[in-house]
Amino acid sequence: MALEKPMIVARSDLRMALQVKYVKFGLIGMAALGPVLSILLVVGFMMAVPTEGAVLFLSPLVSSLLGMMSIIPASLISANSLVGEKEQNTLEPLLCTPLTDTELLLGKLLGSFIPSSVLLIGGLIVTVIGSNLLLLMLGLPTILVPDLAGLFLLLTAAPVMMVAVVFTMILISGRVKRVYEAYQTSGAVVMVFIIPMVLPMTSLSDSGFGDPVQLSNLIWLTNIVTLLIAVVLMLVSGVLALKRFNRDRMISRV
């Protein structure tokens, strides 16, 4: 299937989303907040406890933070695209366009996925470069944060969660009337990325970060579990969304 028509829908969704102030400023805020907080975490930890355990402990914190800050924009755009258009009475003309359900659904998905992926990759690059520049300026050793485990989480689970968020919006679009209600529901999905942030904290002890090998194994296990949860959410919500996404029924509800 050619992507020309879905990309038209995607560009239209993004353009309309940027015309809404809270969506536009939300995207700008997430794009800035993720890297800034991540850089502050890395530099702060390395100034306080520059140990191997601290570096390992930093990666899940930073990767989870960057992941959430890229998934939230997907929820903002998709909520405005599906629920917001219904609220503003602009959904019916789009549903009547000569596009197949698959093309329209793919366009809605790409409209949220592409900009969120750009924010994810951009935030990752800014975090790695910015944190190491500051460490060099402070005379501290440079590190790779997120490390390999963190990159695995960001490049696998985060994109899957972006797709799951869009599918979730499709599922709830016929049940909620206000875009703020959609934001609240999608927030519960985003909370999946709290798992890789919290579970490694169980390795903390009175003596510090514990055994680095055990901590590394726990982080990898947590990231794999997070990915599996994200895949299950995407598959379940995707199957239900594909069954629910019917323009005739949606037009009757507008």
* Local mean pLDDT, 10-residue blocks, the chain (254 residues): 78 83 86 93 84 75 91 85 62 62 83 93 95 92 88 94 87 69 72 76 56 81 91 91 68 51
pLDDT score of 206: 47
Say how far apart CA 62 and CA 74 lie, in whole Å. 19
Predicted pLDDT at 66: 93
Give me the pLDDT at residue 125, please. 95
CA nearest to 220, candidates 120, 124, 150, 145: 150
pLDDT computed for residue 207 by the predictor: 47
Q: Which residues contact 98 (CB under 8 A, 6 or more apart)?
A: none
Cα–Cα distance for residue pair 159/74, rounded to 1 Å: 10
- Give the start-to-end residue ranges of the domains of the chain: 4-253
At 235, list the tokens: 């598959």
- What tokens appear for 143 in the block? 């590190």
Please tell me the pTM assigned to this model.
0.85
- Distance, CA of 150 to CA of 178 (rounded, Å): 35
Residue type at position 67: G
Backbone angles phi, psi at 208, to 5 degrees: 130, -135
- pLDDT at position 127, please? 95
- The one-letter amino acid at 141: P
